[in-house]
Structure 1
């Protein structure tokens, strides 16, 4: 592990839809202690989990889905500010939780918004796709095979993130689960290595870190009833402040940071974010609906159903529908008999 990462542990920012990403499950797998953030003017802030995973100190910061089109603009500013302050001076990696059982529109928007907020390298060099809901896969089906064959929308997300992806969900748990955690953290460390051994940095994070440090000095002064000199640095050990107390002061300072200088309107009115869910052609729309339906079927049935649906889709009309249904039925029956023969 790099010197930068080893001093304070690995900081991870966890992004994902509120209900689909299974963020609590991820933190449970990492065996982290949940520390919910405070309400800020009635808006629930970020949560911060910390603990030891695979022999490493790990901190995971997660927030509401501020990139969602349903998020109120005023709340969005608070969520982003809380997220940046809580993961300051910068994360070692962003983990975007992506469920296999849903379309990727929301996650594509998340990547576009992250680029507008923190620059292209936040996605291209510092984000790992973390797949959830892997019960979508059949027992003999590999995640990579599923992505390439059935889910080009998810494969596009992976490609945008430098082909970095992972899942913590395993079929057998136990040793496999521990190995999955180990492999994830190794991928995070590889991200750090490729970034020159440093955590992610950006002007917005630099602004947040400066404000957090100023607040630390203020809080320590208030607790000790004394004025610290202008040259005093909160990162240096104060003779009367323990490391544990300084950590508590640091987190209090992070929670106290108000809205940062984030131009939310500019970010979410940008062409890139607005184009995250482009309008499909009529044929393309039918194809997307077809794939959405087919992916719920078992692998064997899935392939034959796709064959029949393709015929019906491209022949068109009542005749195409009947021909497609017939082709699909015949192919399914042939596949079933071949399966029985091989047993």
Structure 2
């Protein structure tokens, strides 16, 4: 796993200075970042939230989003900004490139997103990649990201009479997934973009999450703190590894010196023994 996912230091400093001049959030504004694998319906979900086709969306497994894009619109009387991101584990891009581009979403949605909406289709095959997504998101954004995360299930039209609550309850893997993302989830039918109730319900759940977070949002400072902690942990592991290697080398050297000393003593004792034997032999010959 790549650990150096921060943008260049000069870029971070420049963006941080720019963010300080941005006024405080309007209570009616919401900033949302969409996360998920390629083909799960992220872009379509963004279009559904905005109520208009802004993001390119196609039904295939080849990513049509290679970089973050931000669109703002008036949704139910409030300003809503949505950032679409490249697909996690996209095979068309290097993993490091994907991660660098995704973390850029924090700065695009400055001074930081109110919600990370993690998108999964309701009919997904829960593979090893799906299991790793919450940990990967936490790796990129730090432990605090969980407080600002909500799962959005797409393809709600395929539930076939079953509620999303029933689906989550009866599927242990889904329950665990939801638990890793703070226990919050919602479902969309992206085929019915005129259904604004599903969008208003999502925004209400995001509002509730914001209240639970004391009215705040995930900030660029949280991101930079997480990156600094990651660097410090990496440096700590490197120091510990170096100390371990030095200790092992010291032990090997001490063992080598011990063996050499014992060998010298045995050789010396053997030589002295032979010298005594030769002396005794000569004395017997003289007699």
- RMSD of aligned Cα (Å): 3.4
Q: Hey, what's the Cα distance between the residues in 2 that align with 1:205 and 1:7? A: 22
Corresponding residue for 1:146? 167
Q: Hey, what's the Cα distance between the residues in 2 that align with 1:17 and 1:89? A: 25
Superposition pairs of residues 22-41 of structure 1, within 5 angstroms: 22-32=42-52, 34=54
> Gaps spanning 5+ residues in structure 1: where?
37-42, 208-259, 268-343
Say if 1:33 and 1:50, in contact at 8 Å, map to a contact too.
Answer: no
1:6 aligns with 2:29: no
- How far does the alpha carbon of each residue in 1:2-21 deviate from its partner, in whole angstroms, 9 at most, with x for none? x9552571000101112122
Q: Hey, what's the Cα distance between the residues in 2 that align with 1:8 and 1:206? A: 26
Say if 2:169 and 2:175, in contact at 8 Å, map to a contact too.
Answer: yes
* Cα distance change, pair 178–80 in 1 and its aligned pair in 2 (3 A): closer
* Cα distance change, pair 72–261 in 1 and its aligned pair in 2 (3 A): farther
Cα drift, residue 82 of structure 1: 2.8
SS for the counterpart of 1:52 is: strand
Corresponding residue for 2:249? none
Say if 1:90 and 1:205, in contact at 8 Å, map to a contact too.
Answer: no
Corresponding residue for 1:98? 120
Give the number of the structure whose alpha-carbon radius of gyration is greater. 2
1:192 aligns with 2:210: yes
Cα drift, residue 185 of structure 1: 0.5
Q: Hey, what's the Cα distance between the residues in 1 that align with 2:230 and 2:192? A: 46
Corresponding residue for 1:234? none
Q: Hey, what's the Cα distance between the residues in 2 that align with 1:83 and 1:172? A: 27
1:21 aligns with 2:21: no
1:82 aligns with 2:104: yes
Say if 2:42 and 2:84, in contact at 8 Å, map to a contact too.
Answer: no
Corresponding residue for 1:226? none
1:115 to 111, 131, 138: 138
Say if 1:95 and 1:129, in contact at 8 Å, map to a contact too.
Answer: yes
Q: Hey, what's the Cα distance between the residues in 2 that align with 1:172 and 1:77? A: 31
- How far does the alpha carbon of each residue in 1:178-220 deviate from its partner, in whole angstroms, 9 at most, with x for none? 211111101111111111111112536459xxxxxxxxxxxxx
* Cα distance change, pair 45–4 in 1 and its aligned pair in 2 (3 A): same
Corresponding residue for 2:18? none
> Gaps spanning 5+ residues in structure 2: where?
1-22, 57-64, 235-287
TM superposition score normalised by structure 1: 0.51
Q: Hey, what's the Cα distance between the residues in 2 that align with 1:262 and 1:19? A: 33
Say if 1:54 and 1:181, in contact at 8 Å, map to a contact too.
Answer: no
Q: Hey, what's the Cα distance between the residues in 1 that align with 2:70 and 2:145? A: 20
Q: Hey, what's the Cα distance between the residues in 1 that align with 2:81 and 2:191? A: 26
Say if 2:36 and 2:88, in contact at 8 Å, map to a contact too.
Answer: no
* Cα distance change, pair 261–85 in 1 and its aligned pair in 2 (3 A): farther
